[in-house]
């Protein structure tokens, strides 16, 4: 097979470190097959799958079951998060050594049931049992509950950003930074969404790494709520322009380690419910690379910086083995892009069964034209090729970060 890359750019395989594939769950919304098909169509070679599925990944049995279920169902390589509860820290401390585990994920707020770990004592216990970098959804749950009382149901969707306000995220992040300092455990704060957190975390770079989301780098309120309604609702929320500007400043000045999509599909019906019953979460694994390439073409970051944040960064933060760079001994994972190709993102391009994207109608300059996973061309010019032969991604737990 001859591959002609005239006028194309070959990048190390791009990684989406924040994806909710939801499997096992509701196959009308998302599946391993549909979500990873979207990933390779969008130029992603590896993704990390979140653990808050119908049966959350809280134990060895659940982890092993997920690995079995994935087999023959994934188009790209997939690393797996473990879900913390208030009672499984000892088991997770051992299980985080399993080679396919990317990290433990803790919901400090915004989660239901056993996945909510909202008190400092439980978080400290989790930090003390184990060694690898822990990932956090950082929102303060008591403040969220208090603020909810201030609003009446049925208001406009932009109230979502007032409810999950800056202090919800900032307070969560201050608590986590203090606990990281006290225990010495490295942590990764997912989807940092405020100027305040980005500035505060400057003093914690020795222990705290950060992720920003493409939605927070592309949209801002209140505009996005006026145009998208419930299809703009996510946690932490899309905020006003001040935070968007701070996020871009952070991308340029080195305060950010990873960029992810937080692909979190919900049915249209759940997104159309009146606020605050609207399901929170947006799709994004398939559109992440085109949208970021467009930001490159519009001069918001360099292609080199984009690769740092979408390949080297995730590989370093999570300890991904043999991926993240083009180097001898590394997997032959490549994303080939056409930096000058102009194309509009269209809803019916989306492979996820839920079938919608907040980027419908968004015009991109720059497009992924080929996805190569471990030497196999799995996507070429919008065609998905071969069979779903993705594997569980492998992490090196030897040199712990």
The residues that touch ligand DOR, with contacts defined as CB under 6 A, are: 20, 52, 110, 137, 234-235, 264, 280-281
CB-based contacts of 323-331 (< 8 A; 24+ apart in sequence): 323/12, 323/13, 323/15, 323/45, 323/46, 323/77, 323/393, 324/12, 324/15, 325/12, 326/10, 326/12, 330/12, 331/13, 331/77, 331/373, 331/374, 331/375
Number of residues in contact with Zn ion under rule CB under 5 A:
2
> Considering beta carbons, is residue 58 or 308 the nearer one to ligand DOR?
58
Strand partners, 101: 80
Residue 45 interacts with, from Zn ion, ligand DOR, none (CB under 5-8 Å by kind): none
End-to-end Cα separation, the chain, in angstroms: 40
> Considering beta carbons, is residue 126 or 373 the nearer one to ligand DOR?
126
> Considering beta carbons, is residue 31 or 52 the nearer one to ligand DOR?
52
> Considering beta carbons, is residue 137 or 219 the nearer one to Zn ion?
137
* Residue with the shortest CB distance to ligand DOR: 281
> Considering beta carbons, is residue 20 or 188 the nearer one to ligand DOR?
20
Between the alpha carbon of residue 283 and those of residues 29, 111, 127, 177, 326, the distances in Å are: 10, 18, 30, 29, 29
Provide the minimum distance between the beta carbon of 191 and Zn ion in the complex, in angstroms, as a whole number: 6
Cα dihedral sign for 232, 238, 239, 242? negative
Residue 70 interacts with, from Zn ion, ligand DOR, none (CB under 5-8 Å by kind): none
118 forms part of the interface with Zn ion (CB under 5 A) = no
Residue 122 interacts with, from ligand DOR, Zn ion, none (CB under 5-8 Å by kind): none
Range in contact with Zn ion (rule: CB under 5 A) among 36-44, 124-132, 135-143, 369-377:
135-143
DSSP string for residues in 23-55: -SS-TTT--HHHHHHHHHHTTEEEEEE-S-SSS
137 forms part of the interface with Zn ion (CB under 5 A) = yes
Residue 218 interacts with, from ligand DOR, Zn ion, none (CB under 5-8 Å by kind): none
- Please give the residue ranges that form the binding site for Zn ion (CB under 5 A): 137, 262
């Amino acid at each position: 097979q001859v591959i002609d890359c005239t006028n194309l750019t070959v990048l190390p395989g791009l990684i989406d470190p924040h994806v909710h594939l939801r499997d096992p769950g509701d196959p009308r919304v998302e599946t391993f097959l549909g979500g990873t098909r979207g990933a390779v169509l969008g130029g992603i070679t590896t993704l990390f799958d979140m653990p808050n599925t119908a049966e959350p990944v809280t134990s060895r049995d659940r982890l092993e079951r997920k690995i079995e279920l994935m087999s023959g169902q994934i188009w790209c390589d997939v690393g797996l998060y473990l879900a913390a509860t208030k009672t499984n820290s000892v088991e997770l401390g051992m299980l985080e050594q399993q080679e396919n585990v990317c990290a433990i994920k803790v919901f400090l707020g915004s989660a239901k049931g056993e996945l909510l770990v909202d008190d400092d004592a439980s978080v400290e216990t989790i930090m003390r049992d184990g060694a690898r970098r822990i990932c956090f959804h950082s929102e303060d749950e008591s403040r969220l509950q208090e603020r909810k009382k201030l609003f009446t149901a049925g208001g406009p969707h932009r109230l979502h950003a007032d409810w999950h306000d800056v202090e919800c995220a900032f307070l969560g992040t201050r608590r986590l930074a203090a606990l990281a300092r006290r225990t010495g455990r490295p942590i990764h704060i997912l989807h940092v969404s405020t100027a305040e957190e980005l500035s505060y975390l400057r003093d914690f770079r020795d222990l705290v790494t950060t992720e920003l989301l493409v939605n927070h780098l592309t949209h801002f309120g209140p505009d996005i709520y006026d145009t998208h309604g419930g299809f703009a609702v996510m946690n932490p929320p899309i905020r006003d322009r001040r935070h968007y500007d701070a996020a871009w400043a952070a991308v340029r000045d080195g305060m950010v380690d990873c960029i992810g999509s937080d692909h979190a599909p919900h049915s249209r019906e759940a997104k159309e419910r009146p606020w605050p019953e609207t399901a929170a979460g947006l799709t994004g694994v398939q559109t992440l690379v085109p949208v970021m390439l467009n930001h490159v073409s519009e001069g918001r970051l360099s292609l080199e910086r984009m690769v740092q944040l979408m390949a080297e960064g995730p590989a370093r933060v999570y300890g991904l083995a043999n991926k993240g760079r083009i180097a001898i001994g590394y997997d032959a994972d490549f994303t080939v892009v056409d930096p000058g190709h102009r194309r509009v993102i269209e809803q019916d391009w989306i492979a996820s069964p839920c079938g919608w994207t907040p980027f419908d109608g968004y015009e991109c300059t720059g497009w992924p034209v080929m996805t190569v996973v471990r030497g196999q061309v799995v996507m070429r010019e919008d065609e998905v090729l071969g069979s779903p032969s993705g594997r569980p991604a492998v992490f090196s737990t030897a040199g712990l970060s």
